[in-house]
A and B are shown apart, each in its own frame.
Chain A
Amino acid sequence: MLVEGKKISFSYDFGGSPLALQDVDITIEKGEFVAIIGPNGSGKSTLVKHFNALLQLQQGELRVAQIDVRNEKDIWLLRRLCGMVFQNPDNQFVSSVVEEDIAFGLENYEVPRAEIPERVRSALALVGMGGYEKRPTNTLSGGQKQRVAIAGVLALDPEIIIFDEATAMLDPGGRQEVIKIMHKLHRAGKTIIAITHFVEEATAADKVILMHKGRILACGSPQAVLTNLELMKEAEMIPPLPVRLYYDLRQAGICLNRCPLTEEELVEEIWQLRSKM
């Protein structure tokens, strides 16, 4: 197990109510793609910020890659193993030139100077930004900025990459760019944790964690969580369009064979039903 947490509770004002996290148990396996969904204020970001000790554990236990997050001497190792990409592409740059921005992280971790150019180059190539080394960061599109931010994390060769609503501010094209990279990195063996408000992005995950008011309300396959209307309603979430359509058609007496999750599955189901008419 890569992430193993038990009974994690957290309060932003130490003991004040309500708790931002309440008795959260969580396990994440190496190489898993985990999507975390839930309304604003449900504790998604609070939870993942424990994984690299951006927030200090107040109650419970948490080990990430065998490291106890309370061990202060391991904190830099932990942060290197567990990289994070945030929502706002403009708030993450420390330098105005792409390659310098990526080198910054490497220098902080005292990577030998001679190694840095090659690591910058290969990280940029991985996110499809090869050739942009000398570009000023303010001339990039939103999707490109996020990809540079991802490269900055990748250069440190992390085990886990956390995307905290990394697609929220992007246009539809930029969102697709970032989603593609997430899946590419997953195929390359990285563990991916993606927080998102776009339920469609969760349909391709290995596991979906549904949070509500500081608790994990459900954890399971996308099929098990996202097609469960009552569960989604309880969490104040809106299911993906194919799921809504499946139930709305049912109410009109039209029953597709099974509840589809993706647009492609929906189209298959509709074709199939129609061929029998």
Chain B
Amino acid sequence: MAIKIENVSYSYRQYAGETVEALKNISFTIETGDFTGIMGPTGSGKTTLVQLMAGLRAPTGGRVYVNGEDINAKGYDKSSLRQRVGVVFQYPEYQLFAATVEKDVAFGLKYSGLSRRKVTARVRWALETMGFDFEKIRDQSPLALSGGEKRRVAIAGVIVTKPQILIFDEPIAGLDPCGRENFLQFVKQMNQTGTTIIMVSHNMEALAEYTRHLLVLEKGRLVDSGPTREVFARLKQRKTGVLAQTKAQRIVTLLAAGGKLALSPAIVTYDDLLSALKQELAGGGRG
């Protein structure tokens, strides 16, 4: 398995000496090659969890394993972890700094020991993967690009090390609808070529349509996990369910009001809803 979280807790020291438990005794595993989503309201501990999986914080209780190794054990080589786990934080475009796009993306390979030619080839690959024309973009200042372009450059700077595990924290916030779809297609491709993907998002449609497994956090606890469709079906029953539903699920609920039209409770995505309605309404409203 790619990642194993075992009885992990994490406490922050807050103002006035109070401690806040951001994560409370969480356990789960993520298999190699999986596409796992993490959802939960603001303050539920999602970003803390990401930082723990990336080895940027050590848990105050429990253990974090990456590829079977305890990453906080004495003697564990953290620099090798950086090559294995790539993290794209919220608004990664704020982290661009170099004078040219090429230099910015190449920064992650600085101590990789790769030859100059190999570094250039990798940077080209990363930028082309993110949809750029390498020759056109390489000498531009990253700061002069549009918001969406900056984000793609920043992501190129993470994938350039070819990490086996890629973690995205709210990657599509602030992107326009087509930008969202393009980005999610790209992540899907990375996943299909073998990269394990973990994606934190508030976007229910993105989670429902692209992830295979889902973890649900609430106030620092793991309140549900499992195959995405099953988790979404269960979310409907939860108290906080209305907000943690896909639009298709909400429409199914609305249609059922007053016993008017009961569709399958298994409907989660737009395509599910469309095909169910096609069946239900076939022959109706012609002409």
Interface size class of B (residues with CB under 8 A): 35 or more
The 8 closest A-B pairs by CB, nearest first: A41-B146, A40-B148, A172-B243, A238-B177, A255-B285, A142-B42, A39-B176, A267-B254
Which residues of chain A come closer than 8 Å to B280, judged between CB atoms?
Answer: 274
Separation in Å of the A164 CB from the closest CB of chain B? 11
- Return 23 A-B CB contacts under 8 Å, by A number: A13-B144, A40-B175, A41-B146, A138-B15, A141-B42, A142-B42, A170-B202, A171-B42, A172-B243, A173-B240, A176-B243, A236-B178, A238-B177, A245-B270, A245-B273, A245-B274, A254-B284, A254-B285, A263-B250, A263-B251, A271-B260, A274-B260, A274-B284
Q: Which residue of B lies closest to A266 (CB)?
A: B251
Q: Which residue of A lies closest to B20 (CB)?
A: A139
Interchain CB contact under 8 A, A136 and B15: yes
Q: Does B173 contact A (CB under 8 A)?
A: yes
Q: Does A84 contact B (CB under 8 A)?
A: no
Task: Tell me which of B91, B173, B248, B285 contacts A273 (CB under 8 A).
Answer: B285
Interchain CB contact under 8 A, B42 and A273: no
Q: Does A252 contact B (CB under 8 A)?
A: yes
Interchain CB contact under 8 A, A168 and B173: yes
Interchain CB contact under 8 A, B146 and A249: no
Count of A interface residues, CB-CB < 8 Å: 48
Which residues of chain A come closer than 8 Å to B248, judged between CB atoms?
Answer: 241
Interchain CA distance A123-B165 in the complex, whole Å: 46
Which residues of chain B come closer than 8 Å to A249, judged between CB atoms?
Answer: 274, 277-278, 281
Q: Does B198 contact A (CB under 8 A)?
A: no
- Known interface pairs A245-B274, A249-B274, A277-B281; A87-B174 also in contact (CB < 8 Å): yes
Separation in Å of the A33 CB from the closest CB of chain B? 21
Q: Does B121 contact A (CB under 8 A)?
A: no
Interchain CA distance A244-B261 in the complex, whole Å: 20
CB under 8 Å from chain A, chain B span 137-195:
144, 146-149, 170, 173-179, 181
Which residues of chain A come closer than 8 Å to B254, judged between CB atoms?
Answer: 263-264, 267
Which residues of chain B come closer than 8 Å to A54, judged between CB atoms?
Answer: none
Q: Does B204 contact A (CB under 8 A)?
A: yes
Interchain CA distance A173-B43 in the complex, whole Å: 12
Mask for A136-149, Cβ within 8 A of B = 1, else 0? 10110111000000
Q: Does B75 contact A (CB under 8 A)?
A: no
Interchain CB contact under 8 A, A273 and B261: no
- Known interface pairs A172-B202, A267-B251; A236-B284 also in contact (CB < 8 Å): no
Task: Tell me which of B42, B149, B173, B255 contacts A267 (CB under 8 A).
Answer: B255
Q: Which residues of B contact A (CB under 8 A)?
A: 14-15, 40-43, 90-91, 144, 146-149, 170, 173-179, 181, 202, 204, 240, 243-244, 247-248, 250-251, 254-255, 257, 260-261, 270, 273-274, 277-278, 280-287
Given A172-B41, A267-B254, 5 additional A-B pairs, CB 8 A: A168-B173, A171-B40, A173-B243, A197-B177, A273-B284
Interchain CB contact under 8 A, B281 and A273: yes
Interchain CB contact under 8 A, A41 and B148: yes
Separation in Å of the B8 CB from the closest CB of chain A? 22
Which residues of chain A come closer than 8 Å to B176, judged between CB atoms?
Answer: 38-40, 197, 236-237
Separation in Å of the A271 CB from the closest CB of chain B? 6
Interchain CB contact under 8 A, A271 and B278: no
Interchain CA distance A237-B179 in the complex, whole Å: 10
Separation in Å of the B150 CB from the closest CB of chain A? 10
Interchain CA distance A107-B122 in the complex, whole Å: 53
Interchain CA distance A199-B177 in the complex, whole Å: 9
Separation in Å of the A219 CB from the closest CB of chain B? 19
Interchain CA distance A277-B270 in the complex, whole Å: 24
Which residues of chain B come closer than 8 Å to A136, judged between CB atoms?
Answer: 15
Interchain CA distance A248-B90 in the complex, whole Å: 34
